[in-house]
Amino acid sequence: MNIVVCVKQVPDTATERKLRSDDSTIDRSANGVINELCEYAVEDALKLKEAHGGEVTVLTMGPDQATDAIRKALAMGADKAVHLSDEALHGSDALSTSYALSQALKKIGFDVVILGSESTDARTGMLAAMLAERLGVPQLTLASKIEVDGSAISIHRQTDYGYDKVEATLPAVVSVVEKPDPFKPRYPSFKGIMAAKKKPIEKIGVADAEIDPAQIGLAAAWSVVSDFTAAPPRGKGVVVNDEGDGGTKAAEFLVSKKFI
């Protein structure tokens, strides 16, 4: 099975994250880590490979520093990587990113594309759906479990009441969610890290993937950041004294803040 897993490098959520002052895009210059849900995607890809054989290819779109995220995925056990990197891609929004990735995916070829259901930087959560549409294949989103049987693929989609079983035919796009132990992403092993250094990373640009420059980058973006301000500092908390009506008071507070 030809499995492609999309992996994104994001600014570390444990550190202070910034937008660039010149063009309001995310500052990707420092503290890049692999997006946490992408690690789950890699884990699921590796499990599929272990069960059905084949090859896992990592696909990343991002600046040069994104190689760190790629190496991590390779250290976990992916076989090779394609790194789509081009100055022209800078500032692409979700729509143009899905276009660029779909072009790269057409080049690579795939039976299944797996990606995290969202990234911790932009948090649009739309990429999987957009990608499936662009590729003209079924989308199976928010999967907590993936099963493949011949050309049939099915997932469990977590719901409030349990899970829905969603089925489709390969090729398909799957987005995955966080899962508890023992389904957490594996740590790279010593041999995995050493081997990753020797695995091939193919660097491609916009032209190699036959991407139309008019449809990517800041200029082509459908969404525009017109302004931004820092989050206000947290105000003083409210203490509710429970005189038998604590529950009501707490609920009233939440209503007043439009939380419920």
Partner 1 sequence: MDFRLPESARAVRDGIGEICSHYDMSYWERCEADKRWPEEVWAELAKGGWLGLAVPEEFGGGGQGLLELTVATETLSASGSAGGSAFTYVLTPGFGAMTIARHGSPEQKAGLLPRLAAGEIETCFALTEPDAGSNSLAITTSARLDGSEFVVNGQKIWITGVQRATWMLLVTRTIPAAEARPRTNGLTVLLVNVPEAVAAGTLSYRPIPKMGANTTPSNMVFFDDLRVPARNVVGEVHGGAVVLWDILNPERILLGASALGGAEVALRVGVEYARQREVFGRPIGANQAIAFPLAAVKAKLELARLMLYKAAWLFDRGEPCGTEANIAKLTASQAFWEAADAAFQTHGGMAYSLEYPVARLLADARIGLVAPVTEQLLLNYLATQVLGLPRSF
Q: Cβ–Cβ contacts within 10 Å for residue 121, how many?
A: 16
Site stretch for partner 1 (CB under 8 A), options 20-28, 43-51, 183-191, 224-232: 183-191
Q: Name residues contacting partner 1, limited to 39-78 (CB under 8 A).
A: 75
Nearer to partner 1, 54 or 192 (CB): 192
Site stretch for partner 1 (CB under 8 A), options 129-137, 182-190, 217-225, 232-240: 182-190
Nearer to partner 1, 72 or 156 (CB): 72
- 234-247 as b/e: b if 16+ CB within 10 A: eeeeeeeeeeeeee
Nearer to partner 1, 170 or 195 (CB): 195
Report the residue from 151, 189, 223, 256 that binds partner 1 according to the rule CB under 8 A: 189
Nearer to partner 1, 157 or 186 (CB): 186
> Please, are residues 74 and 199 in contact by the beta-carbon 8 Å criterion?
yes
Report the residue from 190, 222, 228, 259 that binds partner 1 according to the rule CB under 8 A: 190
Report the residue from 141, 188, 204, 217 that binds partner 1 according to the rule CB under 8 A: 188
Contact partners, residue 223, CB within 8 Å, separation at least 6: 93, 94, 95
Please tell me whether residue 201 binds partner 1 under the rule CB under 8 A.
no
Please tell me whether residue 253 binds partner 1 under the rule CB under 8 A.
no
Nearer to partner 1, 3 or 196 (CB): 196
Bridge partners (DSSP) listed for residue 143: 157, 176
Residue 1 structure tokens: 């099975």
Query: Which residue shows structure tokens 């449809």?
Result: 215
Task: State the alpha helices, DSSP H only, in 79-233.
Answer: 94-108, 127-135, 190-196, 217-220
> Coil, strand, or helix at residue 222?
coil
Q: Which residues bind partner 1 (CB under 8 A)?
A: 75, 186-194, 197
